[in-house]
Structure 1
Amino acid sequence: MSSSCDGKHDPLVEENRMDSGIDSIRSVFKSEEPRDESCDFSGSRGGDGGSIGGSGDKFMSADERLDSAYGSSSITVESLGQIVEECRISPVAEEQVYEEPQEEENPLTAITEDGDTILHLAIIHEDEQFAQQLIDIFPKEVLDIQNNLYQSPLHLAVYLDLEAVVRSLVERGASLHLQDRDGNTPLHVACQHGQTDCVSHMTRDVSHSKLALVLHTHNWRGLACLHLAALYGQHEVMKLLRKKGAELNIQDGTSGKTPLHLAVELHDVVLVRMLLSWGANTDTFMFNGCTPLHLAVGRQDADIANLLCQSGADKMLRNMEDETPLDLADGNDDILALFPFDDIQISGRSVVGVNY
């Protein structure tokens, strides 16, 4: 509210104004000439008897006016400027702005700026009891909400190895097929990190067709669950996946490697033995035509090359460079010993015993 100091008395203003006191000032100075300075009052009005304008005077009763200090005979012409300057009437007091009350957001349906639901947050903070309660009341659609990293609650529960939460989510029908920003399903994550309990829960009561779809899913690096388990040496996970019918000769999407190729590259003799005992194909070609035996010989790994030969690996298969495994031996006597001369063939026929 603004006013010009013109000395005029307005009874309506007198009646409605709770904190002006301006008319008291005018009554004291009614003999004075009108002043040019504007009275830019923006002081805040308090209903609790607080002080105004820093004068230190408390609010009096309504009959004595709320700011009787303005009517005090101690006010002089010299102090007027200071009083006017110290007193301000706030713009809010001048015109009340009505704002509709905002409805409180339901935390159960709220989503953070990172895309997390309250279930995501409960799992992130590893509050398993609260997470279990939310899983019980939320419909499947909420259980499968993915955050900004495309992680579902099941992804996070697996990452944090919250085995009980994983079990509850799977039992309530949470999707096993959703892929995060790296293309990993929750089962990919569990296979990579060797979380056998989580793998067991996610594969236990799932139909063969649904599980096969997950096991054949490649992440953005072209790797299936079995590839990740092989790459990270998760032998127990490999055993679980094999029991669930995982395809032992599945090829990755970038180079065509099977789990056996990967085990050979990693010099993982234990895994090579496991895969061979399960019937993994020793002669599967990569996209460049290399078999596991090519890789073993090329890496000068005589032990694994011997295992492959004993399992019936074809020694004469050629890769895209027209090389046989023998061509890659590079003078290694241990490996050359795996290729006796009577195994040398021409056009598929053994050289030994041929009459010229």
Structure 2
Amino acid sequence: MSEARKGPDEADESQYDSGIESLRSLRSLPEPTLAPASGPSERSGPQPWTHPPRTSTEPQKEDADGERADSTYSSSSLTEPLPLLGDPEAKDLTPGSPLPSAGALSPQQLEALTYISEDGDTLVHLAVIHEAPAVLLCCLALLPQEVLDIQNNLYQTALHLAVHLDQPKAVQALVMKGASRVLQDRHGDTALHVACQRQHLACARCLLEEHPEPGRGLSNSVDLQLQNWQGLACLHIATLQRNQPLMELLLQNGADIDAQEGTSGKTALHLAVETQERSLVQFLLQAGARVDARMLNGCTPLHLAAGRGLGSISSTLCEAGADSLLRNVEDETPQDLAENPFTLLPFDDLKISGKPLLCAD
């Protein structure tokens, strides 16, 4: 179930609330009025969109870690007749294709398009949740850009949900229409953080490589150094997931390879050592990671490798020039932490302060 929205005095400055009032200010419409209980309508235009009653027996969809990935409303709530929507059963979503013309919207049509559920989901959220691309394209054509960035009770935007549910075409369509890529959910995750956690490479590509249409989303470029509430940037998450293609994609798009996470100051290279994946360590070293990067306690990646008895990774770091005599705040060197300190100092090399001494002929 979704969490209760924080009160005005409890809201975190870095989090945002959707709120029904914000939509009403966008619509500039009076409070909706109830339709007559019976009898034909006197209006000749489209009628208000009606919602079927909720049933208490319908379960909420949750993923493996308990995150809500569905609304409490049934998918039938998206297939009620609403002129302008086209075929809600359509499965193809092509952002570059012509979108429906906005035309003159009646108050009832705008009321339907700006509907908010008790979970804080707008019609844009619901179109993603229920995989209704025709509804999503209609919303993108008719609604102001600000509506795309409304966050539900879990502070998720429609873009968060599209990534969470691995819908790269929906991600592409939202990005092209200017949906914000920097808004953070209740865990501090942007849509790109979610893509790295879920290892949805295609969605990550859309977030990084697609560009908004002219005049849209100019201030919503991706911040690859932005950390979630656990202090992790996207590169840190991709490293912990041991996903080298994601790591490579992030680095190609400007991620700082030596950025420190916010809790203990580990870089991606420290985290790669902790995964005990030598191939990740080699990849980061080849990509230019600083081999003697320090944590907040002064430990280098070689400290971590030596302390864990990771001989092959320690050798890889030493071959890349790691200093085995650097001291942390506890006045310990990697040699002090190694089970066999001689493994860090091969006898066929002469070293001064941990650096090999090269002799001329």
Normalising by the residue count of structure 2, what TM-score does the alignment of the two structures yield?
0.64
Match of 2:330 among 308, 321, 324: 321
8 Å CA contact retained: 1:144, 1:175: yes
Report SS of the residue matched to 2:281.
helix
- Cα distance, 1:211 vs. partner? 8.1
Q: Deviations over 1:115-148 (max 9, x none)?
A: 1001111111122232222222222101100001
Aligned to 1:339: 345
Unaligned residue ranges in structure 1 (runs of 5+) = 1-99
AA in 1 matched with 2:342: L
Evaluate the alpha carbon distance shift between residue 290 and residue 164 of structure 1 in structure 2; reply closer, same or farther with a 3 A threshold: same
Match of 2:281 among 261, 272, 279: 272
The CA distance in 2 between the partners of 1:307 and 1:213, in whole Å, is 33
Report SS of the residue matched to 1:114.
coil
- Cα distance, 1:338 vs. partner? 2.5
The CA distance in 2 between the partners of 1:143 and 1:174, in whole Å, is 6
Aligned to 1:309: 318
The CA distance in 2 between the partners of 1:221 and 1:134, in whole Å, is 34
- Does structure 1 residue 115 correspond to structure 2 residue 120? yes
User: Which deviates the most, 286-295 or 213-222?
Assistant: 213-222
AA in 2 matched with 1:203: L
- Does structure 1 residue 164 correspond to structure 2 residue 169? yes
Q: Deviations over 1:81-138 (max 9, x none)?
A: xxxxxxxxxxxxxxxxxxx962567221111111100111111112223222222222
Aligned to 1:193: 198
The CA distance in 2 between the partners of 1:345 and 1:303, in whole Å, is 23
Match of 1:283 among 272, 275, 292: 292
1:36-75 matched pairs, under 5 angstroms: none
Aligned to 1:255: 264
Aligned to 1:39: none
Unaligned residue ranges in structure 2 (runs of 5+) = 1-31, 36-47, 49-107, 213-217
1:121-270 matched pairs, under 5 angstroms: 121-206=126-211, 214-270=223-279
The CA distance in 2 between the partners of 1:102 and 1:212, in whole Å, is 42
The CA distance in 2 between the partners of 1:326 and 1:288, in whole Å, is 17
Evaluate the alpha carbon distance shift between residue 290 and residue 266 of structure 1 in structure 2; reply closer, same or farther with a 3 A threshold: same
Report SS of the residue matched to 1:337.
helix
- Cα distance, 1:324 vs. partner? 0.3
The CA distance in 1 between the partners of 2:265 and 2:159, in whole Å, is 30
Aligned length: 248
Evaluate the alpha carbon distance shift between residue 210 and residue 280 of structure 1 in structure 2; reply closer, same or farther with a 3 A threshold: farther
The CA distance in 2 between the partners of 1:127 and 1:293, in whole Å, is 51
8 Å CA contact retained: 2:175, 2:211: no
Evaluate the alpha carbon distance shift between residue 107 and residue 350 of structure 1 in structure 2; reply closer, same or farther with a 3 A threshold: closer
Normalising by the residue count of structure 1, what TM-score does the alignment of the two structures yield?
0.65
8 Å CA contact retained: 1:116, 1:147: yes
- Cα distance, 1:205 vs. partner? 4.1
- Does structure 1 residue 298 correspond to structure 2 residue 298? no
Report SS of the residue matched to 2:344.
coil
Evaluate the alpha carbon distance shift between residue 309 and residue 133 of structure 1 in structure 2; reply closer, same or farther with a 3 A threshold: same
AA in 2 matched with 1:255: S
Evaluate the alpha carbon distance shift between residue 263 and residue 181 of structure 1 in structure 2; reply closer, same or farther with a 3 A threshold: same
8 Å CA contact retained: 1:212, 1:246: no
8 Å CA contact retained: 1:150, 1:180: yes
Q: Which has the larger radius of gyration?
A: 1
8 Å CA contact retained: 1:229, 1:237: yes
Q: Which consecutive aligned stretches of 4+ in structure 1 deviate over 3 angstroms post-superposition?
A: 209-213, 340-346, 348-351
The CA distance in 1 between the partners of 2:208 and 2:160, in whole Å, is 15
Evaluate the alpha carbon distance shift between residue 349 and residue 280 of structure 1 in structure 2; reply closer, same or farther with a 3 A threshold: closer
8 Å CA contact retained: 1:248, 1:258: yes
8 Å CA contact retained: 2:273, 2:281: yes
Answer 1 or 2: which has greater helix percent: 1
User: Which deviates the most, 179-188 or 237-246?
Assistant: 237-246
User: Which deviates the most, 191-200 or 270-279?
Assistant: 191-200
8 Å CA contact retained: 2:180, 2:220: no
- Cα distance, 1:255 vs. partner? 0.5
User: RMSD over aligned Cα, in angstroms?
Assistant: 2.6
8 Å CA contact retained: 2:159, 2:191: yes
- Cα distance, 1:201 vs. partner? 1.0
Evaluate the alpha carbon distance shift between residue 175 and residue 280 of structure 1 in structure 2; reply closer, same or farther with a 3 A threshold: same
User: Which deviates the most, 122-131 or 175-184?
Assistant: 122-131
Aligned to 2:44: none
